[in-house]
Amino acid sequence: MADVIPVGERRQLAPPTDDTGAIGWMRKNLFSSWGNGITTVVLVVVVARLLWWFVDWALLAANFTAESGQACHGSGACWSLIREKYRLIFFGTYPYEEQWRPLLAVLAMIAMLITSSDRRMWNSRLIWIWALGSFVTFLLMFGQINLSSSLIYVLAVVAGGAGALTRRVLGSKAEVYAWRALAAVGLLAVVLRMLGTLPAWTLAIAPFTFVETARWGGLPVTIILATYGLVFAFPYGVLLALGRRSRLPLIKGLCVGFIELIRGVPLISLLIMASVMLPLFLPSGTTIDKFLRALVAVILFAGAYIAEIIRGGLQSLPKGQFEAADAMGLNYVQKTALVILPQALRVVIPPLINTFIGFFKDTSLVLIIGIFDFLNSANQALVDPNWAGYPAEIYLFAAFVYFIFCFSMSRYAKYLEVELNKGTRR
């Protein structure tokens, strides 16, 4: 009876040693039985052989300096092709001397995306970051931006209205009055312009030569299509998802009809419709930029998919969350924006990012209507007869660039999941 330890005062024992440490881990996970041991050894050998073969082809035996395809000797990869053609691959048919502009535009977009991926930036600053980033990007790509006076007035109304609405509760009185004043001045200007009292003028910002969208190509096209396609598709998909759950039969029916219609056709057919059929319905003489039409098609298509994902998130919330928000007296917009969406979106981050990654790659389908995105510019590099016979190098390179973007998105999704669920887990 001497060794009895009172309950609650037991000694904490260390775990058995053969389960911990590198050796313990290997014994447990790699060599737990004869079968497992053999599988481990065989797999290691196979992977090592494959890796060695690839490293030999891609690095050790590769040619980095040849002047033409014929000069590419040896059994290795012909990376000289990439060295020769990288500007065509990255920037397509954009005027050669001006290609520093799409390069800077890509960097501006990436900087904008990285900045706005930081959670501390998720406030009104985001609007300024995107306004500035977008302006810089399109100024570089186009070279010139002409803002008509009417557009500026309308922008003032929209900005003032949005500011007054969103800051109504949180902003100071002076700030809200400033937003209202902006909207009022804009509205007055719009009316005066329509009456003809104010003359028409155009604000021309033209530091560079103009480059039309038909000559854009390569990586900037892919990034612009994917980024703005998804940025506009996202709020639109949220509205569709909310509409689909609406109690009003007309709104619900419209949203269901739209989602099912868009999901029922391939993106290619939507792109062709946007480029071939849409102009038929427009009065002759009016043209909508081909690039813009492709962007609209991507937005419509992505919106329908995003809507279905978000609907899944909305349905996963317990009914009590809706009831609690109702019982507190929150109205529909407050309930949705403050209680429901923040939770629903958290749940659907993995499938949402999955869709984003899919659409980033799907933008290459715009080839069908004659727009040269990154993959299609890379394809162009194969046409040169001097460099015939090295498709693997081109496609591997293109795949590598796509992989960098998609893998970053995937890692970011992981970070976001952890970050947003901080504290909510026990």
Partner 1 sequence: MANNSVIQLKAVNKWYGQFHVLTDINLDVREGEKIVICGPSGSGKSTLIRCINRLEEHQQGDIVVHGVTLSNDVKNIEAIRREVGMVFQSFNLFPHLTILDNLTLAPIWVKKMPKQEAEEIAMGLLKRVRIPEQAQKYPGQLSGGQQQRVAIARALCMRPKIMLFDEPTSALDPEMVKEVLDVMIELAKEGMTMLCVTHEMGFARAVADRVIFMDRGEIVEQNQPDEFFAHPKNERTKTFLGQILHHG
Binding site for partner 1 (CB under 8 A): 169-170, 318, 320-321, 323-331, 334, 338-339, 342-343, 346, 420, 423-426
The least CB distance from residue 161 to partner 1, in Å, is 19
The least CB distance from residue 348 to partner 1, in Å, is 14
The least CB distance from residue 330 to partner 1, in Å, is 6
CB 89 within 8 A of CB 391: no
User: Is the Cβ of residue 21 or residue 342 nearer to partner 1 in the bound state?
Assistant: 342
User: Is the Cβ of residue 4 or residue 170 nearer to partner 1 in the bound state?
Assistant: 170
The least CB distance from residue 347 to partner 1, in Å, is 10
Q: In Å, how far are 105, 114, 217, 403, 406 from 111, measured between CA atoms?
A: 10, 5, 20, 18, 16
Up-side HSE of residue 293: CA atoms within 13 Å toward CB?
23
The least CB distance from residue 122 to partner 1, in Å, is 14
User: Is the Cβ of residue 16 or residue 320 nearer to partner 1 in the bound state?
Assistant: 320
The least CB distance from residue 349 to partner 1, in Å, is 13
User: Is the Cβ of residue 1 or residue 333 nearer to partner 1 in the bound state?
Assistant: 333
User: Is the Cβ of residue 5 or residue 169 nearer to partner 1 in the bound state?
Assistant: 169
Distance CA 94, CA 214 (A): 9
- The amino acid at residue 215 is R
Parallel, antiparallel or unpaired: strands 202-205 and 217-218: unpaired
User: Is the Cβ of residue 120 or residue 426 nearer to partner 1 in the bound state?
Assistant: 426
**Three-state secondary-structure class, residue 124:** coil
DSSP letters for 343-395: HHHHHTHHHHHHHHHHHHHHGGGGGGGT-EEHHHHHHHTT--GGGTT-HHHHH
The least CB distance from residue 118 to partner 1, in Å, is 19
User: Is the Cβ of residue 116 or residue 343 nearer to partner 1 in the bound state?
Assistant: 343
Q: In Å, how far are 105, 110, 141, 219, 376 from 373, measured between CA atoms?
A: 15, 17, 14, 6, 5
CA 298 from chain center: how many Å? 12
User: Is the Cβ of residue 15 or residue 423 nearer to partner 1 in the bound state?
Assistant: 423
| Phi/psi at 198 (5° precision) | -90, 135
User: Is the Cβ of residue 401 or residue 420 nearer to partner 1 in the bound state?
Assistant: 420
Distance CA 316, CA 193 (A): 50
Distance CA 203, CA 390 (A): 48
Return the sign of the alpha-carbon dihedral for residues 9, 10, 11, 15: negative
CB 272 within 8 A of CB 369: yes
User: Is the Cβ of residue 151 or residue 338 nearer to partner 1 in the bound state?
Assistant: 338
The least CB distance from residue 324 to partner 1, in Å, is 4
CB 30 within 8 A of CB 40: yes
The least CB distance from residue 299 to partner 1, in Å, is 28
The least CB distance from residue 174 to partner 1, in Å, is 15
CB 152 within 8 A of CB 205: no
CB 221 within 8 A of CB 372: yes
